[in-house]
């Protein structure tokens, strides 16, 4: 029995799954383990940076007032009364016509209000220097709080932790970082035609590539994939695994069993789980037959197509943002612009998402389909770095048309891609 499916628009489908956000959990990880994780809560500076007035150069700390009469013709003599290495604190106060040799990053000694760079000074001997120019009040001092004031946000919740953010965390002594916990995503492939990656092919069979692909998509989105193997197109073995595993995961993804044909498992799974169908058809190609459902315990189930291209797109559009949002990260693939490198003459009532390659030519982004534009093509997935968006309608598209593209390999996300797409 084939259930009647009513297609809805992509943005509406996205909205429906985002209304069922996963629980946001946090955990602490050591700073050395934090690269690539996502900041769970706004982090604030626990002290100003610099935390003391310091010298940005190697030079001499002085009182600027003592250079008032200095010039090339009338140099002023300073007595060098000591030196301050990095990390040292000069213990006495610096007086009139006294100078202290100071290293880059060292603390300005009491009494001094300026630093003159080493290169601009004439060192007469180990204890005397001549200064031949006026030095201004506050010259060459990096002031307390100049970089960051105490209490400033140093990393916003949802930020991906990259090297620059790690430098911030270390600077402020955040040895343990509160990061978003990674949601656990169960992945089950269905299909009597499937053999596993380590099994030999047989006539009529193909290898289970979708589960491995989805696992990598889960990793890219920041989740933890749990491989639940593959089962034939029968409801019993499928439900057995889902019932055993559902409570262990945050999200369950099936791939396959979602065609309009006789072996359409997904509606039956949804029914047996007494889950609420959020949608079971989306006005897009590939991936129109994509299902999302919410169980009573608040878990999301995605029934993705068994077709590699459709499965890929269904994940990126609907499962990815849920996984990302549960880590407070920007949810969606970022939207950008491109210029079509080829014609797409055939109109399609549904919005098309073409796996594409982006080429940079004289400042312009030209986009081409990557490999065969068939939803079953795996090679086109391997080469794709964008999804080219062609809104559905009664006309085709021509080479040179400006189009929207979704960037696949971005490590940052976007909060508003679909809004922008459907309003543009």
Of 70 and 314, the one with the shorter C-beta distance to its own copies is 314
Answer yes or no: are the C-beta atoms of 35 and 51 closer than 8 Å. no
Of 65 and 86, the one with the shorter C-beta distance to its own copies is 86
The C-alpha atoms of residue 153 and residue 155 are separated, in whole angstroms, by: 6
Hey, which residues between 67 and 106 contact its own copies (CB under 8 A)? 85-89, 103-106
Least Å distance between CB 66 and its own copies?
23
| 199 makes contact with its own copies (CB under 8 A) | yes
Hey, which residues between 130 and 159 contact its own copies (CB under 8 A)? 142, 146-148, 152, 154-155
Q: Which of 121, 241, 265, 381 binds its own copies (CB under 8 A)?
A: 381
User: How long a stretch of residues is the chain?
Assistant: 424
Span near its own copies by CB under 8 A; candidates 240-248, 291-299, 321-329, 408-416? 408-416
Span near its own copies by CB under 8 A; candidates 7-15, 21-29, 290-298, 379-387? 379-387
| 49 makes contact with its own copies (CB under 8 A) | yes
Picking from 1, 5, 4, 3, the residue whose alpha carbon sits closest to that of residue 283 is 5
| Residue 377 tokens, joined | 């093509």
Least Å distance between CB 208 and its own copies?
7
Hey, which residues between 217 and 256 contact its own copies (CB under 8 A)? 217, 219-220, 225, 227, 232-233
| 312 makes contact with its own copies (CB under 8 A) | yes
| 64 makes contact with its own copies (CB under 8 A) | no
User: Could you tell me how many residues of this chain bind its own copies (CB under 8 A)?
Assistant: 104
How many CA atoms within 13 Å lie on the side-chain side of 338?
Answer: 30
| 65 makes contact with its own copies (CB under 8 A) | no
Q: Taking the CB of residue 24, how many other CB atoms lie within 10 A of it?
A: 14
Least Å distance between CB 330 and its own copies?
13
Answer yes or no: are the C-beta atoms of 349 and 393 closer than 8 Å. yes
CA-angle at 119, arms to 137 and 88, nearest 5°:
70
Answer yes or no: are the C-beta atoms of 178 and 28 closer than 8 Å. yes
Hey, which residues between 155 and 194 contact its own copies (CB under 8 A)? 155, 161-175, 191-194
Of 294 and 321, the one with the shorter C-beta distance to its own copies is 321
Give the containing element (helix H, strand E) for 74. none
Answer yes or no: are the C-beta atoms of 100 and 94 closer than 8 Å. yes
The C-alpha atoms of residue 341 and residue 357 are separated, in whole angstroms, by: 10
Q: Which of 235, 373, 378, 415 binds its own copies (CB under 8 A)?
A: 378
Give the containing element (helix H, strand E) for 267. helix 266-272
| 393 makes contact with its own copies (CB under 8 A) | no
For the chain, counts of helices (H) and of strands (E) = 9, 24
| Residue 299 tokens, joined | 């878990």
Least Å distance between CB 19 and its own copies?
26
| Residue 417 tokens, joined | 């891609």
Least Å distance between CB 97 and its own copies?
23
Q: Which of 7, 15, 29, 47 binds its own copies (CB under 8 A)?
A: 47
| 348 makes contact with its own copies (CB under 8 A) | no
- Spatial CB neighbours of 363, under 8 Å, sequence gap ≥ 6: none
Q: What is the DSSP string of 101-112?
A: EE-TTPBPPTT-
| 404 makes contact with its own copies (CB under 8 A) | no
Beta strands in 119-275 (DSSP E): 121-125, 128-131, 153-155, 176-180, 184-190, 194-195, 206-207, 224-231, 251-255
Picking from 257, 200, 199, 197, the residue whose alpha carbon sits closest to that of residue 227 is 197
Hey, which residues between 265 and 304 contact its own copies (CB under 8 A)? none
| 379 makes contact with its own copies (CB under 8 A) | yes
Least Å distance between CB 271 and its own copies?
21
Of 294 and 408, the one with the shorter C-beta distance to its own copies is 408
Q: Which of 67, 140, 182, 210 binds its own copies (CB under 8 A)?
A: 210
Of 295 and 370, the one with the shorter C-beta distance to its own copies is 370
Q: How far does CA 22 lie from the centroid of its chain?
A: 18
Least Å distance between CB 404 and its own copies?
11
Least Å distance between CB 112 and its own copies?
14
């Amino acid at each position: 029995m084939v259930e009647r499916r009513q297609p809805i628009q992509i943005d509406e489908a996205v909205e429906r799954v985002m209304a069922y956000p996963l629980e946001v959990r946090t955990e602490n990880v050591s700073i050395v383990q934090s690269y690539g994780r996502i900041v769970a809560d706004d982090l604030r500076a626990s002290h100003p940076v610099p935390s003391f007035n310091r010298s940005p150069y190697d030079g001499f700390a002085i009182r600027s007032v003592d250079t008032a009469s200095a010039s090339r013709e009338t140099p002023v003599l300073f007595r060098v009364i000591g030196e301050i290495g990095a990390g040292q604190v000069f213990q006495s106060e610096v007086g009139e016509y006294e100078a202290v040799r100071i290293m880059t990053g060292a603390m300005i000694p009491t009494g001094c209000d300026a630093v003159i760079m080493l290169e601009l000074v004439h060192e007469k001997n180990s204890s005397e220097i001549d200064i031949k120019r006026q030095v201004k009040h506050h010259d060459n001092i990096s002031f307390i709080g100049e970089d960051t004031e105490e209490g400033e946000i140093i990393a916003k919740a949802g930020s991906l932790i990259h090297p620059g953010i790690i430098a911030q965390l270390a600077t402020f002594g955040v040895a343990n970082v509160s990061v978003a916990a990674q949601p656990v995503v169960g992945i089950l492939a269905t299909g009597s035609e499937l053999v596993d990656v380590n099994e030999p092919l047989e006539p009529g069979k193909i290898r289970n590539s979708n589960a491995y692909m989805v696992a990598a998509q889960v990793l890219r989105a920041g989740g933890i994939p749990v491989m639940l193997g593959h089962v034939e197109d029968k409801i019993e073995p499928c439900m057995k695994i889902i019932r055993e595993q559902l409570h262990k995961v945050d999200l369950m993804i099936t791939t396959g069993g979602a065609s309009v044909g006789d072996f359409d498992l997904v509606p039956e799974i949804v029914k047996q789980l007494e889950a609420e169908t959020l949608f079971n058809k989306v006005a897009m190609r590939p991936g129109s037959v994509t299902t999302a459902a919410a169980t009573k315990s608040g878990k999301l189930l995605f029934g993705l197509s068994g077709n590699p291209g459709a499965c890929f797109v269904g994940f990126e559009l609907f499962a990815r943002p849920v996984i990302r949002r549960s880590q407070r990260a920007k949810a969606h693939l970022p939207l950008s612009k491109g210029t079509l490198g080829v014609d797409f003459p055939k109109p399609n009532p549904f919005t098309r998402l073409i796996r594409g390659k982006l080429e940079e030519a004289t400042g312009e982004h030209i986009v081409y389909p990557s490999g065969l534009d068939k939803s079953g093509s795996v090679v086109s997935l391997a080469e794709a770095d964008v999804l080219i968006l062609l809104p559905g309608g009664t006309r085709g598209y021509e080479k040179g048309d400006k189009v929207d593209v979704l960037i696949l390999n971005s490590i940052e996300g976007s909060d508003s891609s679909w809004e922008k797409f459907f309003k543009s």
